[in-house]
A and B are shown apart, each in its own frame.
Chain A
Amino acid sequence: MIVRPRAADFRIIGLYCGKIIIGVGLLMVIPLVVSLAFGEWNAAVDFLVGIGICLVLGLLTEVFCQTTRELMWSHGLVIAGFSWILATAVGAIPHWLSGHFGSYLDAMFDIMSGYTTTGLYLLQDLDHISNGLNMWRHLLTYAGGQGIIVIALTFMIRGTAGAYKIYVGEGKDERLFPNVIQTARAIWLISLTYLVVGSATLWAVGMNLGQSPIRAFFHAVWVFMGAWSTGGFAPQSYNVLYYHSLGFEIVCAIIYIIGSFNFALHWAVWTGKKSEIRKNIEIISFFITMTIAMLITTAGLTKLGVYPDIASNFRKMFFQVSSGHTTTGFGTIYSRTFVVQWGPLAMLGITLAMAIGASACSTGGGIKGIRIGLIVKSVRQTLRRLISPESAYVVKKWHHVTTRLLDEPAVQSAMMIAIFYILTYAIGAIIGVFCGYEPVQALFDSVSAGSNTGLSCGVTSPTMPALLKIVYIVEMWAGRLEFMSLFALGGYLMALFRGR
């Protein structure tokens, strides 16, 4: 029997969603301060309006949704799923008021792209937006990379019992500590340490390129946020190509590749388990799949003779493939170069890299290295069983922080999520073809949205059909939350109409 949700269920969901909306409002204070510092009064007013609406909505939920009901698993999943939509709707207010978007849908597209660390954008005239708006775009992607819920857990939600249920709903099911609040703090410690080290390095490189200290500082912080969160937003429309610097590209690649590692792996390495980096299933999986993607892409580029020498071949190929594989979305070529120069084979190499994606419990998206590793190990176990004597008992192990036995539920779960990702990519590609785009191009941008990458071959633009914009928004959201919260929301809606 399906039980219809009661008023108390909605109250508890509303209460926690309200806290997250207040969190979004408080986050807007940082771009507001940047706008005021640069004397951008129009942008400051946009942020003040956004903060006001967030606080009013959040306080209304505090008044009308007070309840003594305990948070259950289903609530946690629904809150995780629904709060991302609400945070997108309210986060789009300053974007929409800035006048750089054709419609509110376009503004919501950019906000969802930021939160989910995708990096696709429909913003017009990126090179001339205010510093405050640029800070807001990059802050969104940095916050989204850690997880909106992780932020709320750190600052706003007291008590760990309910907190863990929302944390899992956001697609991060690793506990670095038994206590989920300490886990959130460890994630922040790693991210903030890299923020300081990475931004300082990019600042030095930027000043060396001739940027003024203030401009170099803001570019360094924004590019770091885009790289570390594997978000792919950059302050200029030419993205990383704008800097025309090998040094800048290498520093970016180091930041986004490390950013795509699992937080549990970071924590293990940082607390003395150095050998984890060569034993971890996700790192091994990442190195192998990255090598395959680089081989395919290089073969495609070489066949068409796109780059004349090894250095430029390596520089362009490595940056694009690693950016795709870590689901960052930074680029050092124009979007249309994929289509007019790189050709279908190289594009398929990048598409494969984007589809596989980064590590679980990282800032990245995609199917994830751990699932690919488990599926491959399961296939090898099955093959070994087939060639072994019937009485033989074949055991396979895998290592991720601790060594574990390969068991059926882990493989089943990995396969199920991988199938959902592939279906999402396929549905987006089919709708893209329906809207009139070439199949390879439609697949490229659909995989980019579903895996939260952000590379585009030109399909994603303000002029694309509204249907495709909505499809990509759903793909970004579903891909980031790894489907569980999406199903919980669907189940809740079904229970609302069919429950008793």
Chain B
Amino acid sequence: MPTRFNPFSLKNLRNYRLYLSGILVEVLAVFLLLGIGYLIAWVIPKLVH
């Protein structure tokens, strides 16, 4: 019978992989936002002038 998944267990290596991939996904979302910001800073001056 498989053991129950315990997200708090610091002995389970799978948890570290999960946390790390979670952090990476969140950081990627921020980089997407940075890209949108750069696009705005590039396009708006061209439109205004």
Contact = CB atoms under 8 A, between A and B. Distances in A.
Interface stretch (A4-12, A166-174, A250-258, A431-439): A250-258
Contacts of A317: 37, 40-41
A310 B41 contact: yes
Interface in A209-258: 250, 253-254, 257-258
Contact of A258 (B21, B30, B34, B42): B30
Contacts of A287: 32-33, 36
A314 interface: yes
A370 to B, nearest CB: 17
Interface string B1-44: 00000011000000000110111011101101110111011101
Of the four ranges (under 10, 10 to 19, 20 to 34, 35 or more), the interface on chain B belongs to 20 to 34
Contacts of A400: none
Contact of A277 (B26, B36, B48): B26
Of the four ranges (under 10, 10 to 19, 20 to 34, 35 or more), the interface on chain A belongs to 35 or more
A266 B37 contact: no
Contact of B37 (A189, A197, A274, A314): A314
B44 A314 contact: no
Contact of B40 (A258, A269, A277, A294): A294
A302 B21 contact: no
A394 interface: no
A318 B19 CA distance: 28
A261 B41 contact: no
A57 B30 CA distance: 45
Given A277-B25, A294-B40, A310 B34 contact: no
A72 interface: no
Contact of A295 (B7, B23, B40): B40
Most buried by A among B30, B37, B41, B44: B41
Given A254-B30, A290-B33, A299-B48, A313 B19 contact: no
A437 to B, nearest CB: 30
A261 B48 contact: no
Contacts of B30: 253-254, 257-258
A254 B29 CA distance: 9
Nearest to A267: B7
A266 B44 contact: no
A193 B33 contact: no
Given A291-B40, A314-B41, A197 B23 contact: yes
A294 B22 contact: no
Contacts of B36: 287, 290-291, 294
A318 B37 contact: yes
A317 B41 CA distance: 8
Contacts of A272: 18
Contacts of B7: 186, 189, 270-271
B40 A310 contact: no
A189 B7 CA distance: 10
Contacts of A271: 7, 18, 22
A396 interface: no
Contact of A299 (B19, B32, B38, B44): B44
Given A266-B26, A272-B18, A277-B25, 18 more contacts: A186-B8, A250-B34, A261-B26, A269-B26, A270-B18, A271-B18, A271-B22, A287-B33, A290-B36, A294-B37, A294-B40, A295-B40, A295-B44, A298-B40, A299-B44, A314-B42, A317-B37, A318-B41
17 contacts: A185-B8, A186-B7, A194-B23, A250-B34, A257-B33, A258-B26, A258-B27, A269-B25, A271-B7, A271-B22, A283-B29, A295-B44, A299-B44, A302-B44, A302-B45, A303-B48, A310-B41
Nearest first, the 3 A-B pairs at minimum CB distance are A270-B22, A314-B41, A318-B37
